[in-house]
Amino acid sequence: MKQGLGRGAAALMVAVAAALASPWAAASWGLAMRDSPARDFDDEDTRQFLAAVRQVLDAPSPPQPLEWRNQATGAGGSLLVIGQPKRQGFVECRRVRSTVYSRRRQGQPQVWTACREDSGGSWKLVSAN
């Protein structure tokens, strides 16, 4: 049953923004993903997506592609760090290309950047474009 975070892309992106500790990022994610397969995600799809985001951001270099799939719903996606840009005020950043899909929709790649202010800190979404 769909509930909570599983009710659409905007809710999913609020969860991503919260997971990355950025108060303003949800609107950017919501716009970027509003017509994406993420709108079909249920709570478990969302949990698996967020776990994959954390895993790809915390992975050591060199970047490796990360694939995830929820066998129960057919949702899944891929994430790949495509760069490590320098941003003022942050010690570490990752530029990521992600694509998600559901049983009903195939998504288009989205590119976004997350950074952290200190090496042990939480990631913050700084751009979604």
User: Buried b vs exposed e over 107-127: b needs ≥16 C-beta within 10 Å?
Assistant: beebebbbbbeeeeeebbbbb
Q: Where are the domains of the chain?
A: 4-128
112: three-class secondary structure by DSSP: strand
Output the pLDDT for position 22.
44
**Distance from CA of residue 68 to its chain's centroid?**
12
Dig out the tokens for 67 from the structure. 């694939």
Peptide bond into 109 cis (omega under 30): no
Check pLDDT > 50 for residue 115: yes
Output the pLDDT for position 10.
44
What are 48-79's pLDDT values in tens digits?
Answer: 998 999 999 999 888 899 999 999 999 999 99
Dig out the tokens for 31 from the structure. 């716009």
Query: Which contiguous run of DSSP H or E holds residue 13?
Result: helix 9-19
CB 37 within 8 A of CB 46: no
